[in-house]
Structure 1
């Protein structure tokens, strides 16, 4: 007898996790746009840094819906740090001059405090993901 391939949709929890991750990604982008339109300066910048890592976390869950919260947060943090550290090379700055998308994803200038704010975003994403994964939402024990 031939084994059936396991498709992501057939993995228990994969479809709801993907739908939740897609909704969370949209909410994260809207939150980032909202912060940018409501405040200026460091508050907007550092909130954007944290939300960048939250967005990466949601994209990790979208691709791998059964991923553990700590693994997704670690991957999002590692990616965020890698992008920030890559800014030391000047490559992201050059790409950002040529493409608005590259500027949004890669940034252009290294800023050491951003590394801390990525940790804050990863921590927030981990906490929300953990809470959702255990099924303990607001008002639940």
Structure 2
């Protein structure tokens, strides 16, 4: 129970930091670097948001959902609807993007894999800290 609460709190903090970083990234001049950074942050935000609402789900499942969501949104851009929606309400452009780019697909998969690995490592550290015998000074 405590581990889930800690994971949820860590994800909430990560989500807030990621959103802030993403807003900074979209305010910078557009380039390949800012595009890749924005794509990676999008996946991290999706991952963290999923952990906030379902902290008991395994890291691998969360990573897969975040990757599938991101790839799905990228293909949805082929419909042209995200561009239309963003023209009407700018924040929708931050959620659904704009123009399809095959490079984004690779960034999503790599970012989801790295984020999953970081989450797994963090959970192991917390588990070891909870399970290790603590020395008591007399």
Alpha-carbon distance change, 96 to 65 in structure 1, aligned in 2, over 3 angstroms: same
Q: TM-score, normalised by structure 2?
A: 0.83
Residues 1:111 and 2:81 aligned together: no
Instruction: String of CA shifts for 1:6-35, please: whole Å, max 9, x gaps.
Output: xxxxx3422211111001112222333444
Query: In the alignment, which residue of structure 2 is the partner of 1:120?
Result: 110
Which secondary structure does the structure 2 equivalent of 1:66 belong to? coil
Report the RMSD for the aligned CA atoms in angstroms. Answer: 2.0
Q: Distance in 1 between matches of 2:9 and 2:25?
A: 24
Decide which structure has greater helix share. Answer: 2
The runs of 5 or more residues in structure 2 that have no matched partner are 127-138
Which secondary structure does the structure 2 equivalent of 1:13 belong to? helix
2:66 corresponds, among 65, 76, 95, to 76
Query: In the alignment, which residue of structure 1 is the partner of 2:132?
Result: none
- Number of paired residues? 127
